[in-house]
Structure 1
């Protein structure tokens, strides 16, 4: 497989968003930057804006607004492509967001977000994750959000142990990675009641001692789910039955997220936290077309 590093000057990168013109937006979580940055098709780097402390997952709507999970001191932030702050949402007043992590739009025009369910200031310092992470008290959640108002419409799940990556398949089903267990869960969004949590797969190989598990993920046009596995140093590929069909090594041990390119180069890009880079992988398929509602 062909591969190359597109940019190697990033600091704790996450959440790549690829545009049809070849530009790629990434979040940089480090305390020295905490910014959204843009990488052009030639690999040139530019800081775009500061959404607030430790931005994480990214999504883009059909009105060219970036949605940032974890900006604005653990809030959901809407930002223009020029870096202008447009809206900031903190979640329900009775139960505000704890650690907004990753985002995905669905065909119904709604935004779905994972919340890892723990105060990040108590969980991680820089790249150092607390040693007793398995014994922490998590209240990880999955939200359904109206992007026009920022209101939480439904809390789809709670009590998860560090929910992380999120993706939606062609049938409109929602997939959420739980990092501590290694599980990928599936939810039927068409349910009128709270959707039932269903184990779809597990992406962890063996019994690692460190913080290893699913991070960002996305569907390819081949119907397979491509999941960056943090701490395992690979993109694990799952077929429609949840079977592991391939493990694609990355250039670092801590890949955080993956997005398919939408310009002529094809393939996909992966953000690598420990190396501080954006790596391009020459995957043989395109990405499943993402939903980008007009807001």
Structure 2
């Protein structure tokens, strides 16, 4: 497979979002930057803005504004493309955000957010995860949010062991990754009965000793789910039945997220934390169309 490094001086990169003109937005989580940056189509680096503490996932709405999980101090931030912060939203008073992680818009125009369910300041220092991570008390959650005012409309799920990546399939079903167990769950948001998490698949290979599991995800137009597996050094590809169809090695052991390119070259980009890279993979498919509603 053809691959190349688009940029290699990023600090704890996450949340890539691709634009039709070939540019890529990236969140840099390190304390030294705490920023959103942009790599242009010529491979040049641009600082966009600093939304606050540990920005993580990014989504773009129909007005071109960025929605950032984790900026502003465990909050949800809406930012203009020039870096101007428009809004900072807190979680519900009875269920405050702990670690806003990743987010995606649904066809209904609502925003869906994962929260890993643990205070990151007590979980990770730099790139070092606490040794007793398996014994931690997680309350990973999935929120449904009205982007017009930032209000949480529904709590989709709770009690997940480090809720992480999030994606929609073509049938509008929501997928969420649970890093500690390696599981990927599916939710039928249109269900008329109380929502239940359906186990879709698992991406863990063997019995890893360190912190390892599914992180960011994206669907290809081939119907398969492409999942960056942190600590395993690959993008694991699940078929429509949730079975592992392929494992694509990445340039480091800690890939954090994947996004399909929207320009003519196609393929997908992967953020890799331990190498500080934005890597491009020449995948055979395009990405599933992302929803970008006007707010």
SS in 2 for 1:278: strand
- Once residues 193 and 138 of structure 1 are traced to their aligned partners in structure 2, the CA distance between those partners, rounded to angstroms, is 26
Q: What root-mean-square deviation, in Å, do the aligned CA atoms of Structure 1 and Structure 2 show? A: 0.6
Q: What corresponds to 2:87 in structure 1?
A: 87
Shift of 1:292: 0.4
What are the residue-to-residue correspondences of 1:156-167 with 2, within 5 Å? Answer: 156-167=156-167
Shift of 1:94: 1.7
Q: What corresponds to 2:153 in structure 1?
A: 153
What are the residue-to-residue correspondences of 1:176-195 with 2, within 5 Å? Answer: 176-195=176-195
Q: What corresponds to 1:220 in structure 2?
A: 220
Matched, 1:244 2:244: yes
Number of equivalenced pairs? 295
**Segments ≥4 residues shifted beyond 4 Å:** none
Q: What corresponds to 2:276 in structure 1?
A: 276
SS in 1 for 2:122: helix
Q: What corresponds to 1:107 in structure 2?
A: 107
CA-to-aligned-CA distance 1:245-266 (integer Å, 9 cap, x gap): 0000000000000000001111
- Once residues 205 and 137 of structure 2 are traced to their aligned partners in structure 1, the CA distance between those partners, rounded to angstroms, is 25
- Once residues 194 and 84 of structure 2 are traced to their aligned partners in structure 1, the CA distance between those partners, rounded to angstroms, is 35
Which ranges in structure 2 are unaligned for 5 or more consecutive residues?
Answer: none
- Once residues 70 and 129 of structure 2 are traced to their aligned partners in structure 1, the CA distance between those partners, rounded to angstroms, is 17
Shift of 1:192: 3.9
Contact 1:271 1:279 in 2 (8 A): yes
- Once residues 165 and 195 of structure 1 are traced to their aligned partners in structure 2, the CA distance between those partners, rounded to angstroms, is 19
SS in 1 for 2:196: coil
- Once residues 160 and 256 of structure 1 are traced to their aligned partners in structure 2, the CA distance between those partners, rounded to angstroms, is 18
Q: What corresponds to 2:22 in structure 1?
A: 22
Matched, 1:198 2:198: yes
SS in 2 for 1:27: strand
Q: TM-score, normalised by structure 1?
A: 0.99
Contact 1:23 1:38 in 2 (8 A): yes
Shift of 1:193: 4.6
- Once residues 133 and 89 of structure 2 are traced to their aligned partners in structure 1, the CA distance between those partners, rounded to angstroms, is 28
Which ranges in structure 1 are unaligned for 5 or more consecutive residues?
Answer: none
